Amino acid sequence: MHGGMQFTRQYRQIMTPIGSSSDNLPHWAGVFNDEMADFWSGEVVWNGCMAEYTTLKVGGNADAIVFPMGRNELSLLIQGVRKINVTWIILGKGSNVLVPDEGIRGVVIVLGRNFAEIERIKSNNDSVSVRVEAGCSLASLVKWATKHGLSGLEFASGIPGTVGGAIVMNAGAWQREMKDVLSQVTIMDVRGCFRATKAKDMDFTYRSWGQGRGKVAVEGVFQLKKDDPGRVSERCKEYIRLRKERQPYKMASAGSFFKNPKDSEPAGKLIEDAGLKGLKVGGAMVSPIHANFIVNTGKATARDIIELMHVVQEKVQKKFGVGLEPEVKILGGA
């Protein structure tokens, strides 16, 4: 929930307060307004352009985009949209996702800066437990941990997205993953109910937290080690330096596009050895810097990116007999 937009930019969209009307609203807008009126104090972005909310910067409009402030409001929102039979998805900073050009029907729930609390909850001689809400960006969490001299999250330096998305994807780098530093995850189900689960009892695997459809990570508790802030900072800087050298850091992308296949070379090497670096479809391109990144050169459409994805999959399958599975989640299918 599983990206790059700052929330100061999100409010550039035209917003329609609860209770207003427009010819462009979805047919269920009035019922939605009535259902939310008792608890929803915020505003709704109707027909919001999803390209503004994803790191690939492509995609059509969503019927409605909302920004809950805390767990209680999120739960009531989920209960409300279920009651009126409207579909919903959760989004963080929009990394690791691709929105189709046709857009998204239903409600997009963005967990952002109003869902981003960091709290130290327990400390002993050498470690600290830290509770973090799902909307907190990984960058903010790493910065906070560095400032407080807490080690364990350095590997996440430079990974885009939010804590919630990182938990769901079991994001990782440099032989470390989120599961290695998580002690507990609070999960919301499709009914808006919450359950705290110990991380050791969850089925984390490569790029998956092992939970079923409709489950949402709303917060995580991280077990971090006390360390010198200067040493933590230096390790973070080194990981960011390596990322900038090896990845298309300044181009719009969704991060690593394909999962690394089991019992084979990494996806990036397979794609590079297939001679696909720099391959373009429309405004989408296989990065010349790192072959497992599909980048938006400036005018790509979601269709361009999906077509390029299929070309890469076909050519790698033909040359090496290896099927590449997208790590990027295509919302609404493709």
Whether 207 is catalytic is yes
Q: Which one from 154, 177, 219, 327 is the annotated catalytic residue?
A: 327
Taking only the tens of pLDDT, the chain with its 334 residues reads 433 322 222 333 334 444 444 557 899 998 998 888 887 776 789 999 999 999 999 999 999 999 998 889 999 999 999 999 999 999 998 889 999 999 999 999 999 888 999 999 999 889 999 999 999 999 999 999 999 999 999 999 988 889 999 999 999 898 999 999 999 999 999 999 999 999 999 999 998 899 988 899 999 999 999 999 999 999 999 999 998 988 998 899 999 999 999 989 999 999 999 999 999 999 999 999 999 999 999 999 999 999 999 999 999 999 999 999 999 999 975 4
Instruction: Give span(s): CATH 3.90.78.10, the chain.
Output: 252-330
Q: How far apart are CA 81 and CA 83, in angstroms?
A: 5
Question: What kind of fold does domain 252-330 have according to CATH?
Answer: 3.90.78
pLDDT of residue 229: 97
Residue with tokens 């599983």: 2
Return the CA Rg of the chain: 20
Q: Is 126 helix (H, G, I), strand (E, B) or coil?
A: coil
DSSP per-residue codes, 84-125:
TT--EEEESS-TTEE--TT-EEEEEEE--GGG--EEEEEE-S
pLDDT of residue 22: 53
pLDDT of residue 212: 83
Whether 327 is catalytic is yes
Whether 22 is catalytic is no
- Vertex 318, ends 284 and 325: CA angle to 5°? 55
- Around 23, how many Cα atoms within 13 Å sit in the side-chain half-sphere? 0
pLDDT of residue 214: 85
Instruction: Give span(s): CATH 3.30.43.10, the chain.
Output: 7-114
User: Strand ranges (DSSP E) for the chain?
Assistant: 15-17, 43-49, 61-66, 88-91, 97-98, 104-110, 118-123, 127-133, 150-151, 172-173, 176-177, 182-188, 194-198, 216-226, 252-253, 280-281, 284-286, 294-296, 329-330
116-245: CATH number? 3.30.465.10
pLDDT of residue 39: 79
The tokens for 305 are: 């990116």
Q: Which residue type, as a one-letter code, is found at position 252?
A: A
Q: How far apart are CA 71 and CA 87, in angstroms?
A: 19
Q: How far apart are CA 78 and CA 88, in angstroms?
A: 8
Q: Which one from 95, 151, 256, 287 is the annotated catalytic residue?
A: 256
Q: Which one from 207, 233, 264, 272 is the annotated catalytic residue?
A: 207
Q: Residue 89 in contact with residue 248, Cβ under 8 Å?
A: no
Cα–Cα separations (whole angstroms), residue 312 to 263, 282, 298: 19, 14, 20
Instruction: Give span(s): CATH 3.30.465.10, the chain.
Output: 116-245
Backbone angles phi, psi at 293, to 5 degrees: -120, 125
State whether CATH 3.40.30.10 applies to domain 7-114: no
